[in-house]
Amino acid sequence: MELPFDLDELVRGALREDLGRSGDVTSEITVPDGAAARGRAVARAPGVVAGLSVFRRTFVLLDPSVAVTTSVFDGTAVEAGTALAEVRGPARSILGAERVALNFLQHMSGVATLTRRFVEACAGTGSVVLCTRKTLPGLRALERYAVEAAGGRLHRGGLDGGVLIKRNHLRMAGGVEEAVVRAKAGAPHTLKVEVEVESLEELKTALAAGADAILLDNADLETVFEAARLVAGRVPLEISGGVTLDRVGDIAAAGGLLISVGRLTHSAPAMDIALEVSPA
C-alpha cells in the first residue's frame, strides 16, 4: 500500500497540534534568526524503519527550504547507532518540526519493528501475518503502510473493504449458516464473505454454506491444525485472538494461514530514534 496522496493534511494537522498559536517560542528566543543547522536522525535502538517520507514531509511543510536526505529505505532493519536521515536548513525550522517528525517516524517504525518480529517468527511456514482494524484513530493509513513495509500483509482497510461476519453479527443474525447464506446473496460481487467460527463444527457449517474465507478466533493450537487440515487450502483460513510472539511460530507451522494480530498497530512501542542538531 502506498501512502495516501493527501498526506499533507495529516502532517499539517500534527504540526498545528504541536506549534499551537505562537509556534516554537524557545527557538525564537534562543536561536539566532537565520542560523543554519544540520540534524542527524539516528536509531538509538535496533529496529525496522518506516515513515521516512512522512518524516521528510513534516520538515518541508513547516519550511520548504529545509532539505532532508535519507540513507536507508523503509523496511530496512537497522542497528542502534545507524544514521537514518540528514536534515539541513534554518535551525529554527528544524527545531520547530523535530518533535512532530520524530513522533511520526518513531510510531511507524515501532509498528514496522513489531511486525517484522512476527513475520520472522513465521518465516518458512507459508503463513503470513496481517494487521487488523484495531488501529489508532487517524493513523490507519500510516500504520498499514508500516506493516506492509515490514513484510506484513493487510486485512480490509475498513468496514467497506470486505465482508467479515464476526461473533457479534452472528448473535444478531441467527448463526453461521444463516448469516453466510444471507451474506453470499447480499454482498457486492467484488467482496468475499468471511465468517468467524469458534469450533470445527462451525467451520464445517461455514464451508458448506459457501463462505469464501474463515476466521478462527481464539482457538488452541490443536484446533488450529485441525482446522487447517479441514480447510485444506480451499479458502483462506485466518487465525486471530491472543496471538503473541511466543505462540505465533507454533500457530504458523500449520501452514498457509493468515494470522491477524491487533497488537501490531494498537500496542507497538515506539522505536527509539533521536535527532541530533548542530550548527551547519
- By annotation, the residues acting in catalysis are 99, 134, 166, 196, 217
Could you say which residues in the range 201-230 bind its own copies, by CB under 8 A? 212-213
Q: Which of 139, 200, 230, 253 binds its own copies (CB under 8 A)?
A: 139
> Is residue 79 involved in binding its own copies (CB under 8 A)?
no
Binding test (CB under 8 A) with its own copies, winner from 47, 96, 151, 152: 96
Which residue number, 202 or 238, has a Cβ lying nearer to its own copies? 238
**Between residue 243 and residue 262, which ones bind its own copies under the rule CB under 8 A?**
258, 262
Binding flag, residue 164, its own copies (CB under 8 A): yes
Instruction: Tell me the C-alpha distance between 262 and 243, whole Å.
Output: 9
Site for its own copies in 18-47 (CB under 8 A): 18-32, 35, 37, 39
Strand 83-90 and strand 163-165: the pairing is unpaired
199 near its own copies, judged by CB under 8 A: no
Tell me the number of residues near its own copies by CB under 8 A: 105
Does 81 engage in binding with its own copies (CB under 8 A)? no
As a whole number of angstroms, the longest Cα–Cα distance in the chain is 73
Residue with cell 497488537: 263
Q: Strand 47-48 to strand 237-240: parallel, antiparallel, or no bridges (unpaired)? A: unpaired
Question: Does residue 10 interact with its own copies by CB under 8 A?
Answer: yes
What residues form DSSP beta bridges with 85? 41, 70
Give the binding range for its own copies (CB under 8 A) out of 67-75, 150-158, 197-205, 216-224.
150-158
For residue 8, give the C-alpha cell.
499533507
In the region spanning residues 99 to 138, those forming contacts with its own copies, defined by CB under 8 A, are 99-100, 102-104, 106-107, 110, 133-138
Four-residue CA torsion sign, 72, 77, 82, 85: positive
What is the C-alpha end-to-end distance of the chain, expressed in Å? Answer: 36
Q: Is 165 in the site for its own copies (CB under 8 A)?
A: yes
Q: Are 51 and 270 in contact (CB under 8 A)?
A: no
Q: Are 114 and 261 in contact (CB under 8 A)?
A: no
Does 191 interact with its own copies (rule: CB under 8 A)?
yes
Nearer to its own copies, 39 or 151 (CB): 39
**Nearest distance in Å: CB 106, its own copies:** 6
Residue whose C-alpha is closest to residue 221's, from 266, 257, 168? 257
* DSSP secondary structure letter of residue 86: E
Please say which residue, 72 or 173, places its beta carbon nearer to its own copies: 173
Q: How far apart are CA 213 and CA 225, in angstroms?
A: 16
By the rule CB under 8 A, 151 interacts with its own copies: no
What are the distances in angstroms from CA 14 to CA 97, 101, 160, 221?
A: 10, 9, 27, 43
Stretch near its own copies under the rule CB under 8 A, chosen from 74-82, 116-124, 139-147, 203-211: 139-147
Distance in Å, CB of 63 to its own copies, minimum: 7
57/88 Cα distance (integer angstroms): 13
* Interface with its own copies, residue 160, by CB under 8 A: yes
